[in-house]
């Protein structure tokens, strides 16, 4: 059964991610576009560097062409945010990217975008799942790729320059140019290199790049910019005296940062730094949106500036939806994605990195100094994460106990509120919290805790796992 998760449809290559299913998903979207009478507006199709992404994107284009829907096909491997940007700039109602983002190398998938370059929300993916239930292989219409091109129903588009220019136009170029920063980029064998390097060189940074060859095994690592996966970047930033190291995930919608001292900067800290920067240095006003697994330091910053911090379930579609509704100036998640008002509605690792470079330039401060300032002003926030692979039986039993029997363990901290908005979230009296939810992108249980110290955060997670007899 084809099901959409937190960020599109993903499956293992050769298992669920096979041509038969890929073309079915495309046909389902073509049917939906016809039903909604937006098929005449065409679709944008792009792809990343994963194994099979290029071929799958062509199979998909053949389906849309077979359905008489004009395809704007981005011929070069592209970052997901660039594809989302193109959906927005071409005023299309739908677009898609063939990518499994930060997932392991044996996965691939399809992310679907809607008007304005937004992640398809639940109402769209539910409709697609419904259509898919009644769809069979003999209902898939196709037109050969070359024939589609010859007939003009598939047209190659090159939105690279427009996307890069859009980012550059939002930056304080003068401030960055004057700072003469030395930047090291790690695209993690993914797709950020061309755009990020072009943006940074245009604003006169000195840029070096590592891990940029085409390697569909992502160098044997998960293409996800974490403390563990960015070890080489960290070492090289220190050894080479770089001002900042930037890592982006497989499709470049997420980022991870190494500061000038070689410290990994968490996505929570990146979000907090940027929100504070926008409010305090750029004079912007407005709320912030975070998912429920993201630091509450954002709430403190918002409160200090007389603003509001909104909490939504995990999934960028919820972030962008809430940003629109509340006119928020920034939205993001602890998993490493963010965007700001005026840019695309989806997360963009390339734009976020460029904004951090601007922040360092404008403030004249180093990242670790700014983080110290935030801690002195708002107190310490430490998050602990556990990502656990459970057996099917363990998963079934835990789901029953957590979500049906509503079992809440006893902790050393008093629980103030319990929420089931997305998995389980416990808010403690001391301002800390715990989230336990099953990932929508991987077969994992995620347990996140935030407390004033890392030791306390680990202890609360340990108490939770211990109660349910799960080895952390």
Q: Of 89 and 439, which CB lies nearer to ligand G6P in the complex structure?
A: 439
Q: Of 190 and 440, which CB lies nearer to ligand G6P in the complex structure?
A: 440
Contacts with 321 (C-beta within 8 Å, 6 or more apart), sequence order: 118, 121, 312
Check binding of 117 to ligand G6P (CB under 6 A).
Answer: no
* Residue keyed to tokens 């409160």: 303
Q: Which of residues 399-438 bind ligand G6P (CB under 6 A)?
A: none
Integer Rg of the chain from CA: 22
At residue 343, the 3 state secondary structure works out as coil
User: Considering only 32-40, 132-140, 203-211, 440-448, which stretch makes contact with ligand G6P by CB under 6 A?
Assistant: 440-448
For residue 9, the minimal CB distance to ligand G6P (Å) is: 12
Among 39, 251, 348, 442, binds ligand G6P (CB under 6 A): 442
Among 16, 42, 256, 440, binds ligand G6P (CB under 6 A): 440
For residue 462, the minimal CB distance to ligand G6P (Å) is: 21
Alpha carbon of residue 19 to chain centroid: 26
Check binding of 446 to ligand G6P (CB under 6 A).
Answer: yes
Check binding of 449 to ligand G6P (CB under 6 A).
Answer: no
Report the C-alpha gap between 370 and 336 in whole angstroms.
19
Report the C-alpha gap between 292 and 271 in whole angstroms.
14
For residue 439, the minimal CB distance to ligand G6P (Å) is: 3
Q: Which of residues 296-355 bind ligand G6P (CB under 6 A)?
A: 314-316, 333, 335
Q: Which of residues 259-288 bind ligand G6P (CB under 6 A)?
A: none
- Inter-CA distances, 106 with 13, 223, 382, 436, Å: 6, 11, 33, 26
Q: Of 7 and 148, which CB lies nearer to ligand G6P in the complex structure?
A: 7
Q: Where are the beta strands (DSSP E) in 178-227?
A: 182-186, 206-209
Check binding of 6 to ligand G6P (CB under 6 A).
Answer: yes
Nearest to 238 by CA among 258, 219, 257, 254: 258
Name the token pair of 311.
């909490």
Check binding of 80 to ligand G6P (CB under 6 A).
Answer: no
Total residues contacting ligand G6P (rule CB under 6 A)? 13
Contacts with 34 (C-beta within 8 Å, 6 or more apart), sequence order: 67
Q: Which of residues 7-26 bind ligand G6P (CB under 6 A)?
A: 7
Report the C-alpha gap between 254 and 352 in whole angstroms.
9
For residue 427, the minimal CB distance to ligand G6P (Å) is: 19
Q: Of 66 and 331, which CB lies nearer to ligand G6P in the complex structure?
A: 331
User: Considering only 91-99, 156-164, 274-282, 439-447, which stretch makes contact with ligand G6P by CB under 6 A?
Assistant: 439-447
Q: Computed from CA positions of residues 85, 74, 189, 169, in that sequence, does the dihedral angle turn out positive or negative?
A: negative
Among 441, 445, 451, 456, binds ligand G6P (CB under 6 A): 441
Among 216, 419, 421, 439, binds ligand G6P (CB under 6 A): 439
Contact indicator for 336, 255 with CB cutoff of 8 Å: yes
Q: Of 101 and 114, which CB lies nearer to ligand G6P in the complex structure?
A: 101
For residue 254, the minimal CB distance to ligand G6P (Å) is: 7
What b/e sequence results for 142-168 when a residue is b if at least 16 CB atoms lie within 10 Å of its CB, and e otherwise? bbebeebbeeebbeebebbeebbebbb
Using CB under 6 A as the criterion, which residues of the chain lie in contact with ligand G6P when the complex forms? 6-7, 101, 314-316, 333, 335, 439-442, 446
């Amino acid at each position: 059964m084809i099901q959409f998760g937190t960020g599109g449809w993903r499956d293992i290559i050769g298992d669920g991610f096979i041509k038969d299913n890929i073309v079915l998903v495309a046909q389902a979207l073509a049917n939906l576009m016809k039903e909604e009478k937006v098929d005449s507006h065409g679709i944008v199709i792009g792809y990343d560097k994963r194994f099979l992404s290029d071929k799958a994107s062509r199979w998909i284009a053949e389906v849309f062409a077979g359905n008489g829907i004009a395809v704007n096909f981005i011929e070069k491997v592209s970052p997901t945010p660039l594809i989302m940007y193109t959906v927005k700039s071409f005023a299309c109602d739908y677009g898609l990217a063939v990518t499994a983002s930060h997932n392991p190398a044996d996965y691939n998938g399809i992310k679907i975008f809607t008007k304005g370059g937004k992640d398809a929300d639940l109402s769209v993916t539910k409709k697609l799942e419904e259509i898919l239930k009644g769809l069979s292989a003999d209902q898939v219409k196709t037109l050969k790729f070359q024939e589609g091109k010859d007939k003009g129903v598939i047209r190659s588009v090159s939105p690279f320059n427009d996307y890069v220019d859009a980012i550059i136009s939002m930056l304080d170029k003068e401030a960055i140019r004057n700072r003469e920063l030395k930047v090291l980029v790690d695209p993690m064998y993914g797709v950020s290199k061309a755009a990020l390097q072009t943006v940074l060189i245009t604003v006169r940074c000195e840029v070096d790049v590592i891990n940029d060859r085409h390697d569909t095994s992502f160098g044997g690592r998960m293409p996800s910019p974490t403390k563990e996966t960015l070890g080489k970047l960290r070492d090289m930033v220190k050894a080479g005296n770089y001002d900042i190291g930037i890592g982006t995930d497989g499709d470049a919608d997420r980022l991870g940062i190494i500061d000038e001292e070689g410290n990994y900067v968490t996505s929570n800290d990146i979000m907090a730094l940027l929100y504070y920067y926008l409010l305090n240095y750029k004079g912007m006003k407005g709320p912030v949106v975070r998912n429920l697994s993201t630091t509450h330091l954002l709430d403190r910053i918002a409160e200090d500036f007389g603003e509001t911090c909104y909490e939504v379930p995990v999934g960028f579609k919820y972030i962008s939806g809430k940003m629109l509704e509340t006119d928020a100036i920034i939205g993001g998640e602890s998993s490493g994605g963010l965007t700001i008002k005026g840019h695309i509605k989806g997360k963009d690792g390339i734009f976020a990195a460029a904004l951090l470079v601007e922040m360092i330039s404008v403030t004249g401060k180093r990242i670790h100094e700014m983080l110290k300032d935030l801690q002195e002003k708002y107190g310490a926030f430490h998050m602990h994460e556990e990502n656990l692979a459970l057996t099917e039986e363990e998963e079934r039993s835990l789901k029953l106990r957590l979500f049906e029997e509503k079992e809440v363990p006893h902790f050393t901290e008093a629980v103030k509120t319990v929420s089931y908005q997305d998995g389980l979230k416990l808010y403690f009296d001391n301002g800390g919290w715990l989230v336990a939810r099953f990932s929508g992108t991987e077969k994992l249980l995620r347990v996140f805790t935030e407390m004033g110290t890392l030791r306390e955060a680990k202890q609360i997670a340990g108490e939770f796992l211990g109660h349910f007899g799960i080895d952390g």
